[in-house]
Amino acid sequence: MARQRKRKGDPVHGWLVLDKPVDLTSTQAVGIVKRLFNAQKAGHGGTLDPLASGILPIALGEATKTSQWAMDSEKEYLFTIEWGSSTDSQDKEGAVIGTSDARPSREAVEAALENFIGEIDQVPPKFSAIKVNGERAYDLARDGETFELEARKVLVHEARVTDMPDADHTTLHVVTGKGFYVRALARDLAVDLGCEGHISMLRRTRVGDFTLEDAITPDALETMGETPAERIAALVPLETALDDLPFVDLAAGDGELIRQGRTVKLMPHVMEAWRADIRSSREDRLALAMDAGTALAIGEIRAGQFKPSRVFQV
């Protein structure tokens, strides 16, 4: 029998809310955090462009099993559009593809924004990580390939102007659902206003329950103690990404059964509490099983039973 290969690093579990600086890729950020924690496994909860700063949730260990929930969660952005020129990437790194002397008034921007609130159709930027015939769109765009991306439904909960320091710049705040591209909003807003514009500053201020209040910069993390163990206090629980899931408390002894992947029967009062939770109306009937205050598994509730699908080995 072949021996199981031992993983390098320590079994560290939880989320680090990183305040990513500009000019650092999401992959580089994950590498830094993984090294500083000497973690066996790490990933992120949603790519943030190198030119963007702000919240980049980084999952360590078993928290990587919850990454999809972070990617799908509500997000907030603060960004500035610089008027006068458009670029192929819709940000300041791209090549200029159009210029104009037209400058919108604050009132015009606010009026145009009304068309971008609610469920809208949005064509992603060509400089994006979306795959086209197995290749990343940004690779095709950089190679000068001709291709088109299809519009997709995205949800915008809020969009408003927060500042307009001069005629050349407008700062906006948006609250969005999954799959939304700020650069695409800047592109489409400029078209509607009959102007040229691109993103000159972008900062993500929230991803679900991950906020700037809990965030830490790579530099601050680097100077926090001399060992990975001393940085553990900076982590937030893996269930932080699962705020939209109702939870159920397991009876004594059921935790071990769940760890074995077995289905358990839920007590009547637990089922009543689950039904009363407004998050329980979701069609997939998913829930988070808690064992003595510790997140143990994501699973499905059917006929008064909990069947685990993702068990956290912590």
d(CA 24, CA 48): 9
Q: Is 8 exposed, middle or buried (0-12, 13-18, 19+ CB in 10 A)?
A: exposed
Q: Which two tokens stand for residue 245?
A: 């899931």
Closest CA to 16 of 40, 38, 34: 34
The β-bridge relationship of strands 305-311 and 264-265 is antiparallel
Q: Can you tell me the distance from the alpha carbon of 297 to that of 310, in angstroms, rounded to the nearest whole number?
A: 5
Residue 171: phi and psi, rounded to 5, are -105, 135
Nearest to 11 by CA among 303, 277, 232: 232
Amino acid at 269: H
* CA dist., res. 197 & res. 91, Å (int): 9
Question: In this structure, are residues 14 and 39 in contact, taking their beta carbons and an 8 Å threshold?
Answer: no
What SS3 state is found at 310? Answer: strand
- The answer to whether residues 61 and 39 touch, using CB atoms and an 8 Å cutoff, is yes
CA distances from 160 to 80, 102, 155, 197, 198 (A): 12, 21, 15, 17, 17
What is the Cα 18 distance to its own chain's centre? 12
Question: Can 188 be counted among the known catalytic residues?
Answer: no
Distance, CA of 299 to CA of 10 (rounded, Å): 27
What tokens appear for 107 in the block? Answer: 């009132």
Catalytic residue among 10, 23, 49, 72: 49
Active site residues: 49
